[in-house]
Structure 1
Amino acid sequence: MSDRIEADYLIETPVDPAAAAAAMAGEQSSGTFVAVPGETPELRERHAARVETLDVRETVAAPSLPGGTTGERYARASVTLSWPLRNIGPDLPNLMATVAGNLFELRQFSGLRLLDIRLPEAFAVAYPGPKFGIDGTRRLSGVARGPLIGTIVKPSIGYSPEETADVVKTLCEAGVDFIKDDELQADGPNCPFDDRVRTVMRVINAQADRTGKKAMFAFNLTGEIDDMRRRHDLVRELGGTCVMASLNSVGLAGMIALARHTELPIHAHRNGWGYLTRAPLLGWDYRAWSKLWRLAGADHMHVNGLRNKFSEPDDSVIASAKSVQTPMFETKPCVAMPVFSSGQSALQPPETYRRLGNADCIYAAGGGIMAHPDGPAAGVQSLREAWDAAMAGVSAEDYARGHPALARALEKYRG
């Protein structure tokens, strides 16, 4: 692998695309908008970003974003920039400033999107990456094959610790593999983190003592760094097997600090992701953004779900899921477990499995479990059966003939 950092972009510009790409390179390395005495040829040779590739795709009549330079036509092009590692060293927060800093507001651009990044092996040495990932999550959850069938405590917020534990008891008795706090439930006065963990873990541990199966619960410890470390330690001491952090809330530095401390898998929630990606010619592609968090230590990463309640199309969901399962380095794969959620039921597993190509995921459903006409246990069973059918290459309809939980779910969720 090269010792240079590389980043791929999609740009839209009313000026010559080559000149626009050169402006990107200068802005994000040794240059500025006017020549300065210290920018010698020798300095540029050592530290300037390079335009590695430029491929004009098409032109359009109107700009995607307001402001900046205007023109009669706007060219869209693929651009790859590279930087010498010596500019920043293997440093994730400053990598973000380099590949996604002031670029987005440069006046030459009516659109700019970061598509992918490739990093020197020095980053693999410097950062922990996922400590558990797919294999470790399977080991702790006891799920050796197929997806972890999971859900989210709902309503998102409003329950006391005792009410939360009652829901968890119902889900544990239903045989669920994975449960998580909603991202809105952290450490509010109505449901303090410490009380919630103690109350919920009493239920989970008691169920594990009775059945030998311990549900994995991702407790939302999002907060300031010292608080997250202390909360992690409490979960670990009480026998918990997972913690959760909201990535956009804690930031890269917070995630790195948590990952260096943690002895449990980190369930990484991407809430707020829409403001970074929803405009097609602005922001980030998931494969680029998720690489930073995987390297920082995320073990599970949310990717939405097929036919979800949000605006994301199915192709994007599958591309995101595949991206987090794709190794980043030869020496440290940094592979995470994708988490499918949002409006999932027994309907989506066949297509999810076919398009992903494996069952190494967490498959989380709320109504798909709790709204099953025969109750939560049948809801969990219907999801397992839907995945079993998909992995066996049998249609859900055929499989449902001998599996009543799946049959009832298909009838229910197809309306």
Structure 2
Amino acid sequence: MADDNRFRVRYRLKAENASEAESRAIGIALEQTVEIPGDIVPAGYISDEIVGQVEGISATGPETYEATISYSPDSAGEEVVQLINVIFGNSSIQQNIRVVGFDPGPEIRKRFAGPRFGIEGVRARTGRARGGLISPVIKPQGSSVSELAEIARRCVLGGADIIKDDHGLANQRMAPFRERVTAVSEAVAEANAQGGGSVCYFVNVTGHSGYPVDEAFQAKEAGAGGVLLMPGLMGFGVVQALSRDKSFDLPIMTHPSFTGPFVLTPETGVDHGLMYGVFQRLAGSDISVFPNVGGRFGFSIEECQSIAKACRDPAGVGKPMMPSPGGGMSVERAGDMVSMYGEDVVYLLGGSLLRAGDRIGEAVRAMRDAVDQMSAT
């Protein structure tokens, strides 16, 4: 009987026959753990526990197989970077291997807390007990600090729940990090006081100083209500470090920049739900941003639904988190979006809002009202 303490990964493989599929699976099990030939693996603990164990192989189509491999939690320790490294490290560089499933098992559930806030915590911080959350994105890159702060102020008064930095706002001379964070935080706080709201400003942290955790704390000290991180560029370890730090105590939103190559080719990489749901949640993100169906990135309905399901799955690691689709959002599509994603979701509103100019707050209000109306029907 398999050790129920192990975690399991399902891989889709291309192979000419069952014999080749088994050989490939054994190769993955070795590559993802000891990274040495099977005939020189030390006997005992390493061979019995650490080396991946091929538990099953089944044909799923012409020259296509699915292999289930289990791994010891000791091979991952308590680090999300190493856990993902075991799931798909060196094997990600090989042809025709795709990760299609992950079962954490009881020990990984104990070692990885997942999101600190999750859905309920984000709702508590924003004061939105029911319905989808509205999150305008302040942009474009090249805007001045005062321009970005004014956009944020108008959006708060229009009924936003979260003000999100565009992920292209870093530490450019047009809007330096410290100046931007301070000015936008102040604008959001003033608008909250004026309107009686509790809108949170999520600051984009890029690690320009070489110390992203320090920058996140600087954002908190300046009045930010959360941070935006890009694990595809910064690494999942930064997300985990902040989510585990009790003194930080702010929600984390993760952005998909640089992760496209992991999901876009069906024969390689990882499934969408794993990248934007499971991995983000393991690291401790509270809100996962991903490209919405109907936007300019081409994710399908099924792929978007798989992401939302993984984010909110009660059987996932830690608290359920908020999926946050972006792109293709409009008042006209509000009904379809509510029907597709339900209530526990953060809707990103980007470039389309800027068409409203000085009436951007009214555009936010229109989306707020449309979502609320559709949610109530």
Q: So what's the TM-score if we normalise by structure 2?
A: 0.89
Q: Which residue of 1 aligns with 2:10?
A: 8
For the structure 1 residues 202 and 94, does the alpha-carbon distance in structure 2 shift closer, same or farther, using more than 3 Å as the test?
closer
Q: CA deviation at 1:275?
A: 1.3
Counterparts of 1:225 and 1:248 in 2: how far apart (Å)? 18
Residue of 170, 178, 187 corresponding to 1:203:
187
After TM superposition, list the pairs within 5 Å mapping 1:186-265 onto structure 2. Answer: 186-223=170-207, 227-261=211-245, 262-265=248-251
- CA deviations 1:74-110 (Å, max 9, x no partner) are x11111110122334343222222111222344xxx4
Q: Which residue of 2 aligns with 1:404?
A: none
Counterparts of 1:87 and 1:237 in 2: how far apart (Å)? 37
Q: CA deviation at 1:341?
A: 0.9
Q: Is the 8 A contact 1:104 1:282 kept in 2?
A: yes
Residue of 257, 260, 265 corresponding to 1:274:
260
Counterparts of 1:28 and 1:384 in 2: how far apart (Å)? 47
Q: CA deviation at 1:360?
A: 0.8
Q: Is the 8 A contact 2:226 2:250 kept in 1?
A: yes
Q: Which residue of 2 aligns with 1:315?
A: 302
Q: Which residue of 2 aligns with 1:345?
A: 330
For the structure 1 residues 26 and 164, does the alpha-carbon distance in structure 2 shift closer, same or farther, using more than 3 Å as the test?
same
Pick which of 241-250 and 344-353 moved more.
344-353
Residue of 95, 105, 117 corresponding to 1:120:
105
Counterparts of 2:142 and 2:357 in 1: how far apart (Å)? 25
- CA deviations 1:336-377 (Å, max 9, x no partner) are 111111121123332222233x21111112244343599323
Q: Percent identity?
A: 24
Q: Is the 8 A contact 2:157 2:195 kept in 1?
A: no
Q: Which residue of 2 aligns with 1:47?
A: 50
Q: Which residue of 2 aligns with 1:407?
A: none
For the structure 1 residues 43 and 294, does the alpha-carbon distance in structure 2 shift closer, same or farther, using more than 3 Å as the test?
closer
Q: Is the 8 A contact 2:73 2:108 kept in 1?
A: no
Look up the equivalent residue of 1:111 and give its one-letter code: N
Q: CA deviation at 1:183?
A: 0.9
Counterparts of 2:320 and 2:235 in 1: how far apart (Å)? 20
Which of structures 1 and 2 has the larger relative contact order (alpha carbons within 8 angstroms, sep 6+)? 2
Counterparts of 2:223 and 2:85 in 1: how far apart (Å)? 38
- CA deviations 1:112-164 (Å, max 9, x no partner) are 11112122333333334211111111111111111111211121x10121221
Q: CA deviation at 1:328?
A: 4.2
**Would you identify which runs of 4 or more consecutive aligned residues in structure 1 move more than 6 Å?**
none
Counterparts of 1:41 and 1:2 in 2: how far apart (Å)? 19
Task: Say if 2:92 is the partner of 1:104.
Answer: yes
Q: CA deviation at 1:224?
A: 6.2
Counterparts of 2:22 and 2:174 in 1: how far apart (Å)? 57
Q: CA deviation at 1:318?
A: 1.6
- CA deviations 1:229-281 (Å, max 9, x no partner) are 33333333343211111111210222222223321111111111211111011
Q: Give me the CA root mean square deviation.
A: 2.5
Q: How many residues align?
A: 370
After TM superposition, list the pairs within 5 Å mapping 1:117-196 onto structure 2. Answer: 117-155=102-140, 157-196=141-180
For the structure 1 residues 142 and 47, does the alpha-carbon distance in structure 2 shift closer, same or farther, using more than 3 Å as the test?
closer
SS of 2:228's partner is strand
Look up the equivalent residue of 1:11 and give its one-letter code: L
Counterparts of 1:209 and 1:143 in 2: how far apart (Å)? 16
Q: Is the 8 A contact 1:30 1:39 kept in 2?
A: no
Pick which of 200-209 and 287-296 moved more.
287-296
SS of 1:303's partner is strand
Q: CA deviation at 1:167?
A: 1.6
Q: CA deviation at 1:300?
A: 0.5
Counterparts of 2:179 and 2:83 in 1: how far apart (Å)? 38
For the structure 1 residues 102 and 196, does the alpha-carbon distance in structure 2 shift closer, same or farther, using more than 3 Å as the test?
same
Counterparts of 2:191 and 2:309 in 1: how far apart (Å)? 34
- CA deviations 1:46-72 (Å, max 9, x no partner) are 33322222111222xxxxxxxxxxxxx
Look up the equivalent residue of 1:44 and give its one-letter code: S
Counterparts of 2:21 and 2:152 in 1: how far apart (Å)? 56
Q: So what's the TM-score if we normalise by structure 1?
A: 0.82
